[in-house]
Amino acid sequence: MDILFVATELGPYVKVGGLADVTASLTKALRGLGHKVTIVLPRFPVFEASGLLVARRLTPLKLTLDRAASRTVEVTLYDGRLASQVDLVLVDAAPQGKSLFDRPGVYGERGEDYPDNAQRFAILSRAAVELARLRAETTTPFDVIHCHDWPTALVPAFLRDLRRDVPALAATRSVMTIHNLSHQGVFPKELLPELGLDWDAFSIDGIEFYGGLNVLKHGILCADAVTTVSDSYARDIQTEAHGAKLDGVLRARGASLLGILNGVDYGVWNPATDSALPTRYDAQDLTGKARCRGALQRELGLPLDLEAPLVVNVGRIVPQKGIDALVPAIPRLLASTDAQVVVAGDGDPGVMAMLEDAAGRSHGRMVFVRAASEALVHRLLAAADLVLVPSRYEPCGLVQMYAQRYGAVPVATATGGIVDTIVDCDARLETGTGFLFNDVTPSGILAALERAIAARGAYARDAWPALVRRVMRLDRGWERPARRYEQVYRSLTR
């Protein structure tokens, strides 16, 4: 099959969250299954700054977005290829003489979205569909266009409209994947013409949303199939409690809404081959994990103590991730156990200030690392005994799966995709793949960590190493999810 991906993040180049890892890994897995895959992304400066070679197409695309005002935008395309043999097309546009994508952030900076995000991502989506039109009219059409989250959610609408006028696109189908329903692309209705849509789309069965515009809603309604990143999250978002006001829209999709759990790219996340680690190890021989612990303690200035349990938290510092509830629990954890704590991430300035203060008061037993490098994240997981994931909600969650691969037992909230990837350990650690809890409060987090630390201490000789080996041997690879996506594509294109 010939598949076009449209996304805004791609690891390791442009990464805000798990979407970057999914874009890189899923396309690689589909390529491994024999499919031809092309990714369309904005031309962020980091691509070429990282040494990626791209070639500018001589002929730009001319897009008409606001037809009433006859406003056209010229889009320049750049072609490249990733090491996975996935083709890459980068989109650039400068309607006011300055690139829409040559900016410090992907979606915004300092916690604020860019005010022209509606225009930026409408142009990206329209350019992707025009690229599909050119391909269909000149060679062979794409079988499927797979778009991700609200910034690309106009793709299904643009494709549906073009299919009426371009017979060569008649067989091309669209798939919309929701990675996080809380981000929907909500804008004032006055921006509708700038999105390239007619006012016919402004209806309760279209893009209208409480008097404004909701880009993700329109994508959900227009796509030929809708997926999200775990079975549990697919069920959760069809309820009023977790549907973010789109539960009715999602329920209306019925059987065409499918949960497919994300995977782990073992070419990137594998302690047996990881070049970022000072010593490599595997489930058969765990001695290297202890060496990774000592090396990290020296690197971060923690006390050199191979017996003290090392608790790590890695992720964005935003309310979703529950870090604000973790901060008050840290002093109590350090007082009640001999644990060491490392928190790594970036986000809310207020919470980061509290983390820095907690580290300063920890007598050297806690470290806060702002904006940790990807290599350091690998070393943190390799050194950790426990990885804390106190998310208030989690569509899928990748950190807990990466932690398991590195022999770091996850302590996580029982929500969304986490319950699809962790089985709660029994009291003697004979079964289970992590520790689950429900209460995202300082007391709830503290109780969960104390439970895990007590289990580690009580069963340090036999049951704990067996648990570590058990979680390392879990099959979380991308082949199974990729084959499920393949089934979705084939069901649409039969």
Same domain, 24 and 82: yes
The predicted structure's pLDDT at residue 64: 83
Q: Which two tokens stand for residue 396?
A: 């899928």
Residue 309 domain-assigned? yes
Higher pLDDT, 110 or 147: 147
Cβ-contact 439, 322 below 8 angstroms: no
Q: How confident is the model at residue 180 (pLDDT cuts 50, 70, 90)?
A: very high
Do residues 116 and 230 share a domain?
yes
Q: Quick one: 255 and 294 in the same domain?
A: no
**Is 413 a member of any domain?**
yes
**What number is the average pLDDT over the span 237-256?**
94
- Do residues 13 and 134 share a domain? yes
pLDDT in tens, 117-163: 999 999 999 999 999 999 999 989 999 999 999 999 999 999 999 99
Please give the pLDDT value at position 65.
Answer: 80
pLDDT value of position 254: 84
Whether residue 67 sits in one domain with residue 38: yes
* Sheet (strand 208-209) strand order: 186-187, 212-214, 208-209
What residues contact residue 173 under an 8 Å CB cut-off, 6+ apart? 143, 144, 145, 224, 225, 489, 492, 493
User: Cβ neighbours of residue 135 under 8 Å, at least 6 residues apart?
Assistant: 141, 142
What dihedral do alpha carbons 222, 397, 272, 82 form, nearest 10°? Answer: 30
User: 337 in a domain, yes or no?
Assistant: yes
Read off the pLDDT of each residue in 349-373 and give the average, rounded to a whole number: 96
Same domain, 105 and 225: yes
Percentage of residues of the chain with pLDDT beyond 70 = 99
CATH of the domain at 439: 3.40.50.2000
457 lies in the same domain as 489 = no
- What does the pLDDT read at residue 334? 98
Nearest residue to 172 via CA among 197, 147, 201? 147
Structural domain boundaries, residue 117: 2-263+478-493
Same domain, 466 and 482: no
Above 90 in pLDDT, residue 350?
Answer: yes
pLDDT of residue 97: 83
Residue 282 included in any domain = no
Looking at the structure, tell me whether residues 74 and 102 fall in a common domain.
yes
pLDDT value at 278 more than 60: yes
Does 384 map to a domain? yes
If you compute the radius of gyration of the chain from its CA atoms, what whole number of angstroms results?
23
Quote the mean pLDDT of the chain: 95
pLDDT at residue 110 above 80? no
Check whether residue 297 and residue 241 sit in a common domain.
Answer: no
Looking at the fold, whether 136 and 223 belong to one and the same domain comes out as yes
Based on the fold, state whether residues 293 and 249 are members of the same structural domain: no
The answer to whether 219 and 150 are in contact (CB under 8 A) is yes
The total domain count for the chain is 2
Predicted model pTM: 0.94
Q: Is pLDDT of 68 > 80?
A: no
The verdict on residue 273 lying in a domain is: no
